[in-house]
């Protein structure tokens, strides 16, 4: 069932509106669960609480989105919305870490959601059995603090980019091909969005080659960016693209330029949050 679309807009670092303010604290069991990530050089207790207060959307939850969703769940995000359609097939299992042999032929999202719920009882998982269209993506973005875009095709990636910009929430876009992966973090109205980088949609190869280790690496890094953004920890990749060349063993970061004439985020064109 599609979630309600009339929830209030939320911003990074603010309550999602799903709990009363008095309930927003870390229990002794949660402090025990997250003890290895609370402390110097990682997250403060306040940062961990910001994670608990936040909602993230991951779509899709396959090769990159699966690891991203799993890492967010394990980190203690308060609510995770995951979207993925179709049934699991054998070629998926070289990279989709939330799938198993016993799930073959079954709706992907059922097994994916079950494994995420099993990973952390403190996290609320909301599962959607299809890829959101324009209207649903926009409505979902308005309920979230951050959006992780992990689909293979540019049409879906551009849809999620528009939804995040219109809602005024950060977007983490992950992509892969072969042994290469890329990652960007978008702060709407301030840094380049996906449409700034790709003013014309590149050609898309439906069954492109990919190594599962690249999928997991980029998906995990996407989750890390989302964690940093939500918890106000560290330095997110604002205005940059990280390029991981697994074949050559090299990592590069390039600066991105925002186009003021961009039809999605350009001056005078971006919807006010």
Over residues 26-52, the pLDDT tens digits come to: 999 999 999 999 999 999 999 999 999
Alpha-carbon gap, residue 6 to 259, rounded angstroms: 32
Alpha-carbon gap, residue 56 to 16, rounded angstroms: 10
What is the residue-wise DSSP string for 52-66? HT-EEEEE--STTHH
Query: In the prediction, which pLDDT does 269 show?
Result: 65
Number of C-alpha atoms within 13 angstroms, CB side, residue 134? Answer: 4
What is the residue-wise DSSP string for 174-228? EEEEBTEEEEEEE-TTTS--HHHH-SSPPP--TT--B-HHHHHHHHHHHHHHHHH
Q: Does position 251 have pLDDT exceeding 90, yes or no?
A: yes
Query: In the prediction, which pLDDT does 20 show?
Result: 37
Higher per-residue confidence, 11 vs 140: 140
Query: In the prediction, which pLDDT does 7 show?
Result: 31
**What domains are there in the chain, each with its CATH number?**
26-255 (3.40.50.720)
Alpha-carbon gap, residue 5 to 138, rounded angstroms: 9
What integer is the mean pLDDT of 178-205?
A: 93
What integer is the mean pLDDT of 192-215?
A: 90
What integer is the mean pLDDT of 209-224?
A: 97
Query: In the prediction, which pLDDT does 205 show?
Result: 76
Q: Quote the mean pLDDT of the chain.
A: 90
pTM of the model: 0.89
Is the peptide bond prior to 60 cis by the omega test (within 30 degrees of 0)?
A: yes
Alpha-carbon gap, residue 2 to 71, rounded angstroms: 24
Q: Which tokens hold the place of 268?
A: 């005078």
Number of C-alpha atoms within 13 angstroms, CB side, residue 160? Answer: 28
Query: Which of 152, 258, 260 lies closest to 205, judged by CA?
Result: 152
Query: In the prediction, which pLDDT does 62 show?
Result: 95
Q: Does position 245 have pLDDT exceeding 80, yes or no?
A: yes
């Amino acid at each position: 069932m599609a979630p309600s679309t009339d929830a209030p807009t939320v911003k990074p670092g603010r309550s999602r509106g799903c709990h009363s303010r008095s309930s927003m604290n870390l229990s002794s069991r949660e402090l025990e669960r997250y003890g290895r990530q609370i402390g110097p050089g990682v997250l403060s207790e306040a940062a961990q609480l910001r994670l608990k207060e936040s909602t993230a959307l991951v779509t899709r939850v396959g090769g990159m989105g699966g690891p991203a969703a799993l890492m967010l769940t394990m980190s203690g995000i308060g609510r995770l919305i995951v979207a993925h359609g179709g049934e699991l097939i054998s070629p998926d299992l070289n990279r989709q870490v939330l799938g198993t042999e016993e799930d073959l032929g079954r709706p992907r999202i059922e097994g994916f959601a079950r494994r995420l719920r099993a990973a952390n009882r403190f996290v609320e998982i909301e599962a959607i059995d299809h890829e959101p269209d324009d209207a649903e993506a926009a409505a979902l973005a308005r309920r979230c603090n951050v959006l992780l875009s992990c689909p293979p095709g540019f049409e879906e990636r551009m849809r999620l980019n528009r939804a995040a910009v219109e809602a005024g929430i950060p977007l983490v876009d992950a992509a892969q091909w072969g042994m290469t992966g890329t990652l960007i973090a978008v702060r709407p109205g301030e840094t380049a969005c996906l449409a700034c980088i790709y003013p014309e949609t590149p050609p898309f190869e439906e069954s492109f080659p990919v190594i599962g280790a690249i999928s997991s690496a980029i998906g995990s890094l996407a989750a890390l960016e989302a964690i940093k953004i939500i918890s106000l920890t560290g330095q997110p990749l604002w205005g940059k693209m990280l390029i991981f060349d697994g074949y050559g063993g090299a990592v590069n970061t390039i600066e991105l330029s925002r186009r003021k004439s961009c039809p999605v985020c350009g001056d005078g064109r971006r919807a006010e949050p």
